[in-house]
Chains A and B, each alone.
Chain A
C-alpha cells in the first residue's frame, strides 16, 4: 500500500512537469497578454516594450520556462500582474485556497446528505412516484446551468430570504487563524464571525451542490438497486435481521464503492475551483482568481493555480483509490 502510494505521488511529479510545460506554451499563445491588459488604453509602443522587458517576456520562451522552473523550486512562482497585482502568486493561492476548500466542503456535504439517502429511498421504492419524481429532479439538477442557477439564487433567494449574495464575510473585525473563516471564529470564540461566514456560504454552496447532488443521487440509486438484487440481502432477510441492520450493514456498505468514487471525483472537481459560482457570488476563492486571471492574462497566477488544481485532483483521486481498500476487503487482501 505504501509503495503504491509513493509510486502514485511520483507519477504526480511527472504530471505536473508536463502540465506546466503545456500551460506555459498555451498561455503564451492566447491573444493579448499581460502587457496590454495592464496598460489598457494608455498603451504606447514604448511603454509596452518597457513593460515587456521588465516582465521578462522579451526573452525566448524556453528560457522563460527554465527560469520559471528554477525559481519554482525555491518556492517563487512569480508576482501577480492582474488578479492582485504585486502579490506573489503563491500568497494568492495560500490565501484563496481555504476559501475554496470551505465552499467545496459545504457543497459536497449538502450533496451527500441529500443525495445518498434520497438515492437509497428511490431504489428501495423502485418505480414509485417518489422514485420517478426524484429521478426527474436529479435530471434537472444536472441540466440546469450553474451560472443560471447561481444568478437565480443571487437574484431571488438573497432578496427574499435576506441572505448575503456576495463575498465571504462582511467587513467585520475578525481574527484570522487558519484561513477558514468558519473555523477561525470557533477557535477565537468570535461566534458572530463564524455565523457571518456561514451565512455567506449558504447560497454559493447550494448553487455548487446541485450537480454533485444529482450525480451522487443517481449513482447511489443504481448501486443500491444492484445490491438489493444480491443473494446475500436475501440471506440477511432470512436471518430475520431488523431493517436498519440490513440497510446499513448489508445494503449500503456494499453499495458504497461506486458512491465513494463519485464523491471523490466530484470533490476533486469542486476543489479545482468552482469558477462560475465563485465569480457570480464574488467569492474570493481559487475559481474567482482563475476567472480574473484569464481576463487579465495573469500568467504567474494562472500557471500556479492550474498546476495546484491538477495536483489536488490527482491527490483526491489517490485518496479515493486508497479508500477502496478500507471499504472492500477483497481489494485489501490482494
Chain B
C-alpha cells in the first residue's frame, strides 16, 4: 500500500500534462467551430489560422480555451471526455450491446486467455525439451529468438488469412497470435529456472541415486516457480497485445482492436481512446492478478519470508 502515493503522483503529473496539451491540440478545430457559430475569431480565415501554431492561436483567442475541452471530435480528447465515454460504454450500456466495452473486452480477453494458455504450455514444454535434450538445446533457442524479431503486425494478417482459408475463424486465429507473443518469455524464464539448481544440489540428488524424473519433480520444477511467475507477468500482457493486434488488420467486428479501428475510421476519437484505456486497465488488472498469485504461491511454498 506504500506504493499508492508515488503511483498517484505520477498519474497526477500525466493528467496535468494531458490537460495542458488539450488546449493547443484542439485550438484550430475549436476556432473553426466558433467562427461557424458566429463568434469573432482572430485571425478570421482558416488559411490565416494555419499560419499559427496551436499555442500561438490560443494566445490570440484565450476566450476559446474552455471550448477546447468539449469538442465532439477532438484531435486530443480531454480526460473527462474519455472518462464519460468509458462510463457510458462500460457501466451504462447493457453488456449484450454491440457498443458495450465490456462485451468487446470479453471478446479480446477470451482470445487473450486461450492464447496465453497455449503459449504458456508450449513455452514450458519447449523449456523442458531444451533443458533435457541436447539437440533441442542447440536448435530451438535461435528459432525462438528469430520468431520474435518478425514484426507481429506483418505476421498477424498472414496467419489469420491462412487459417481463414482452411475454415478456422474467430477466436482461435487470434489466440494463435497471442500464443506467438507469449510463449517466448515463458521459454526464456523456464529454461533459466529449470537450470537454476547449482552443482551441489544436483550432486546431492546423485548421492541419493535419484532418477531423472525425481530430479525434475522434486528439484528443477519447484526451483523454477519464481522464474515462471516473472515470465507469466510478461507473457499475459504480451498476449493481450497479440489479441488486439490480431483484431486490427482483419476487419474484426468485435474486440478492443475492432473498437480502436472503428473510432479511427469513422472519426470518433472518443471511441478509440476509451478502447485504448480499457485495454490498458485490463492489462494492468491481469498483471496485478498474476502478481497476487505469485505472492500467494511463493508464500505457500515458503519461498518468501512472510
To the question of whether A and B form a pair in one complex, the answer is: no
Chain B contact residues, CB within 8 Å of chain A: none
